[in-house]
Amino acid sequence: MSKEFNVLSTFDGMSCGQLALNVAGVSYTNYYASEIDRYAKQVTQSNYPDTIQLGDVTTITADQLPHINLLIGGSPCQNLSIATINNIKHNKGLQGEKSKLFYEYLRLLHQLEPQYFLFENVASMTNANKDLITQALGVEPIKINSNRTTAQDRERYYWSNIPTLTQPADRNIILSDIIEPNPPAKYWYTQTHTYNGDNEKIQATLDINGHDILKRVYNLNGKCGTLTCVSGGNTQKKVYQNGKCRKLTPLEYERLQNVPDNYTSGVSDSQRYNMLGNGWTIGVIAHFFKNLNENTSRKVN
């Protein structure tokens, strides 16, 4: 690796890319971040005060930056996810107001010609959208479920020219490995629930209004569903503990994304849930980045 190694992270969020670089032991000279959410930037600067914030990705140009060795990003997935695919208002694929930001990543990829790139997005997108991204980036994606590094089912596609992308080792982590023994009272539900016996996945069903997915209470001997950006109410993931139902805490959300304990402290619970639901699983990304210490690769044509 050359003496200077500069990174540009688009849609940086709370800087999961920077976390993964550090876990992987990759040294870098400058870390440039494009992010517009003030709470995510607050968390980033609290943990990595030397981060160079550039703001809106649509305003970034090549002449603002030195040579970039690594370009990373995962553009907003709201228009690609299966969660909105049946909603006509959002079903616009890569032309949706948020997901079309992929083309800003693509613009920077060709303008900056980094040695390495990594792009992430949801595995529930349509084959048509997956094929469009694959054609644009020129590499086939690898699909990985974060459940290999944590107690969360989270399938994602990763497109990259980092050499030797493989599945990470299965660490066999379950929810009981990451939960807090005595979380505060505010996280416990007083509503009634239906006990599902020894169901390996959903041990109870909470008696609340809303979609069935919001009522699921996960078995501590298994994995929970995919963390998402939450909007309050009962949208957090839930577990069955000591015969009662409760929502997972922000600290437990951190652990489900392989994020250090209290990394996101300093902002409200709702903001912590949001940025963690939008973030990357550090164990997966660090697994890719470890190859940066040993390999060189072609530039983007």
Tens digit of pLDDT for each residue in 81-112?
Answer: 444 334 434 444 455 555 578 889 999 999 99
Specify the higher pLDDT residue, 125 or 54: 54
Partners of 204 in beta bridges: 195, 217
Residue in the structure block whose two tokens are 């228009």:
79
pTM of the model as a whole: 0.90
Region of 20 (left: φ > 0; alpha: ψ -120 to 50; beta: rest) is: alpha
Q: Does domain 6-168+279-293 have CATH number 3.90.320.10?
A: no
Quick one: pLDDT at residue 100?
Answer: 77
Give per-residue pLDDT as tens, 131-175.
989 999 999 999 999 999 999 999 999 999 999 899 999 999 999
Judged by DSSP in three states, 195 sits in strand
Is pLDDT of 8 > 90? yes
293 band by pLDDT with thresholds 50, 70 and 90: confident
Q: What is 175-275's CATH number?
A: 3.90.120.10
Helix, strand, coil percent values for the chain (each to nearest 5): 30, 20, 50
Could you state, in order of their start, the residue ranges of all structural domains in the chain?
Answer: 6-168+279-293, 175-275
| % of the chain at pLDDT higher than 70 | 89
Judged by DSSP in three states, 247 sits in strand
